[in-house]
Chain A
Amino acid sequence: MSTNLPISSNTTGLSGPVAAEEVFDRVVGAVREWQETVAVEATKQRAIAAEEARWLAAIEADREILLTYLDRSFDERAESFRRLFEELDRAMSGDTTHVADVLGAITALAMKSPFQDLKDVDTVTANLHDPNYGW
């Protein structure tokens, strides 16, 4: 490729037109590389954003399920303990069997931690949707 640019010879010994052609090729190459890189980087950034969104959604969904489960469990258990202690107070003036039963229920409930059920999110989700699930 030739050009009319009045480029003189330089110390490298390349003639003007040859140097101009080389420069032109370099410029075209640089523009092409720039276009490709910008497109590639834009694609990468979109992929990163999508991956981030998936991770954040998954973490937040898991968190929501687990915390809902724990909060509901602790609320139900607090109410159960309240009722059991009331029952224990009534039983204290009654027969020993009832005292033993209520105490057994209190200790069994206390020893079973809600965290024991957090084996996996699927189980927790299933429990949350089970109206008959015992907390």
Chain B
Amino acid sequence: MPLPLVVAAGGLAVAAVSGVAAGVDGVRRSRDASGRVSRAKKHVVSAASRAESAWAEADRHVRAYGDLQLHVQVDTLGAWASWLEENERKVRDFEGHLVDGVAIPPFDLPELKLQVIEAERMLSGGVSAGIAGVLARQAALTGVHSLASAGTGTAISGLSGAAAKSATLAWLGGGSVAAGGSGVAVGTIMLHGIAVAPALLTFGLGLNVQGHRAQTRAREFEKESRIEVARLKSQRLLIERLEVRVEELELVLHGLDERASEALDELQQVEFDPAGHVELFMRVALLIEGLREILATRVVDEAGVLTPESEQVVIIHRTSTASTTEAPT
């Protein structure tokens, strides 16, 4: 065989082997990309599920706190309203007076009674939608539920994006190979009647390029998924702190209610004499006042949205879920 032919044959053999190797590597890379996308999706779904569970748990907790609020209103404020009603004439004499330099809290008996009636209605399930106070407290009971949906919605929305990208990436596992430019190149070469070796090399390189590109897209998907997982983790941990806040309010409400009930029991047991029991009366009035202030401190507002204070959770979450087109420096 003439030397040029030997060289040419050797070159063709190298080209063929290289082409096959590049093609195999390209297919491996494409499969690797598909696997990465699949694993990344699973991580996001898992993180979203954990965040959703945290919302559900917070929801249950806020509902329990709302239930405690209603019972305090019905039992303690109800008992206080009844006592005030029975002793209204004597109590009126106190109005505007100071005890040890402390002003006696104003007694708005109609409003107090209305608050108790609203709470009773809510506990019995008969809610009047026209009463703003009721709506507010109803929101305290149910608001987090809508937040849970919102929280999950964010995650789901992230998933939607991921799913869309996954669909985009789906072709990377092999479809692109079948439809890629390398096929055209092979066809062109074969059309010209050239040997298989250069065609194999070109085809293999085409597959390899597809594999590298698939890995880049998969890496981009992985990046976004990992960021989403990190955000969902932040969201979940902040939700857990929101529960701590509810526990705190629960503890304070319970502490004041316990003391107010005891003092009120004591007051109910005496034959009320404004001159002789003014200090006992003041203790009850102040405790009830404090109790009402805590009752007015809500975790969620009338629309079922977190109050401005706890809304920070959402703000922080939104900040960290802002577009990732501009990475932090």
Contact = CB atoms under 8 A, between A and B. Distances in A.
B269 interface: no
Nearest to A88: B259
Interface stretch (B64-72, B138-146, B151-159, B246-254): B246-254
Contact of B193 (A3, A19, A52, A96): A19
Contacts of A74: 241, 244-245, 248
B209 A34 contact: yes
Contacts of A92: 259, 263, 283
A contact residues, range: 35 or more
Given A26-B185, A37-B213, A59-B234, A7 B263 contact: no
A12 B193 CA distance: 9
B315 to A, nearest CB: 8
B273 interface: no
A96 B287 CA distance: 11
B292 to A, nearest CB: 9
A23 to B, nearest CB: 4
A119 interface: yes
Interface stretch (B96-104, B106-114, B172-180): B96-104
B231 interface: yes
A26 B216 CA distance: 26
Interface in B241-299: 241-242, 244-245, 248-249, 251-252, 255-256, 259, 263, 279, 282-283, 286-287, 289-290, 293-294, 297
Contact of B324 (A41, A55, A71, A107): A55
Contact of B309 (A44, A67, A115): A115
Give chain B's interface secondary structure class. Answer: helix
7 contacts: A10-B191, A22-B192, A23-B189, A41-B213, A51-B324, A96-B100, A111-B293
Interface of A: 3-12, 14, 19-20, 22-24, 26-27, 30-31, 33-34, 37-38, 41-42, 44-45, 48-49, 51-52, 54-56, 58-60, 62-63, 66-67, 70-71, 74, 77-78, 81, 85, 88-89, 92, 95-97, 99-100, 103, 106-107, 110-111, 113-116, 118-119
Interface of B: 2, 4-5, 8, 15, 22, 99-102, 185, 188-189, 191-195, 198, 201-202, 205-206, 208-209, 212-213, 215-216, 219-220, 222-223, 226-227, 230-231, 233-234, 237-238, 241-242, 244-245, 248-249, 251-252, 255-256, 259, 263, 279, 282-283, 286-287, 289-290, 293-294, 297, 307-313, 315-316, 320, 324, 327-329
